[in-house]
Structure 1
Amino acid sequence: MTTAASTTTQPLLRAEGISFAYDKDPVVREVSLDIASGEFVGIIGPNGSGKSTLLKLMAGILEPDSQRVLFRGRDIHSCNRKQLAQSIAWIPQEHHMPFPFKVSEVVMMGRHPYLSAFTFEGESDFEIVRRALEQTQTSMFAERLFNEISGGEKQRVMLASAIAQEPEAMLLDEPTSALDLKYQVELLRILNDLNSKQNVTIAVAMHDLHLASKYCCRLVLLKQGRVIKDGAPEEVLQKDILEEVYEIGVNIYRDEADGSFLISPEGA
């Protein structure tokens, strides 16, 4: 498990009863949520429950239809965008690169919030990029074109770019979805190290409840855009709660080695 949340009274990010709809269909409904500095939070729930949209709202990418999101006590949409980009890294699930950038160039994009229109990357920027490539095991294809590598490799490259950004918080949408088991665990270990050793706040949307319980110190369970349960994994991953939310019978087993939960559908 990761370290517990910081004891500071003011959360790093706060959603104050926010709602959001695409066209007329509500996706997030009156969600209130605090994320403290130093937390590792997993956002879980069925497909269509609003996980990705909630993270985009918390990152300031989308603006709520009602109420607001605060970053360090200020409305996130009143913050200086460049300074906000230095503080919060957003990693989407899918990555579309319209131009033929090399992997190393994509990772260097993480340094753009620190550069002005009239300055070029310096030695320190290249060193930060080199370390980020090494940390994500992507150095071996640094000179390849981003659009020519696999989906799983792209996800690791985008994590490297976020690491190069040196943010206070990383918000990630299904970062393990395109990865095989080895790299799922490796990516989450990297996030765990960033959280526990560098105090980077992590909020991640996940489908894998076992991995969520293994690496997140707190889980927020959504259904139809509302928070159903918010707490430690052992409080959220209860049989009756999961069966109500996922609408299927489940079996839950505790892994005594690390305290994580193994969850399978009944009759499987």
Structure 2
Amino acid sequence: MSLISFVGAGPGDPDLITLKGYRRLAAADVVIYAGSLVNPKLLDYCKPEAQKFDSASMTLAAIIDKMAEAVEKNESVVRLQTGDFSIYGSIREQVEELKKRAIDYECIPGVSSFLGAASQMGVEYTIPEIAQSVIITRISGRTKVPEDESLTSLAKHHTSMVIFLSVQSIRRVVRQLIAGGYTAETPAAVIYKATWPDEKMVKGTLANIADKVGKAGISRTALIMVGEFLGDNYTYSKLYDPTFTHTYRKGIKNVTANKD
């Protein structure tokens, strides 16, 4: 009997799918893909006879039925999810339904859009002595967020923050972040469709990012990034410091020559 391969599609650029994910996709008999978010160029990797189904208009039951039908025929199935399905990927509900039907599955991780976004900007979320933690979250909307995880509650930590599924409410996002403790001068950025050909990038501060996003016409499919990691202050790590000793390198002592 065949199994279901959940494959993270990567952030957008079709070259950013993992090699293992590519191999599963290229060999699949049936591909169920998130058409509203997955780059359609990824489907070029499929063999010509592969059956392709866009899940954008399908219900959970319809998706699982299609998977079960293919497994009964011993066909290989790829469920092509956005970015990396471990973040806002709706994978849990699919896995639970497959378990009920005793259908085997595997999970092949992808590159999340929050990683693709940082790479496109050439930034690091964790900078020594500036930021060493990252919060990945979203604003409450039709999908509710636990009160303890509200933006106002999380903002008090002043960490690097990546906010998904919220750019349509960016003014509310800014208000909550400032109410929670970020200053209006905190660096902020918004990236629309990171790594896609039509990517847009807007940089500013919490004081002006909403206006800039409005002028750029960004209202969906974008990440909001907030924190001092986007600013001009930074320190170098100890990893390559010549005076820092670790398992693979002995520290070099600073010796001042005696000229007497």
- Does TM, normalized by the shorter one, top 0.5? no
The structure with the larger Rg is: 2
Q: Name which structure has the greater RCO, CA cutoff 8 Å, separation 6+.
A: 1
User: Which has more helix, going by share of residues?
Assistant: 1
TM-score, L = length of structure 1: 0.27
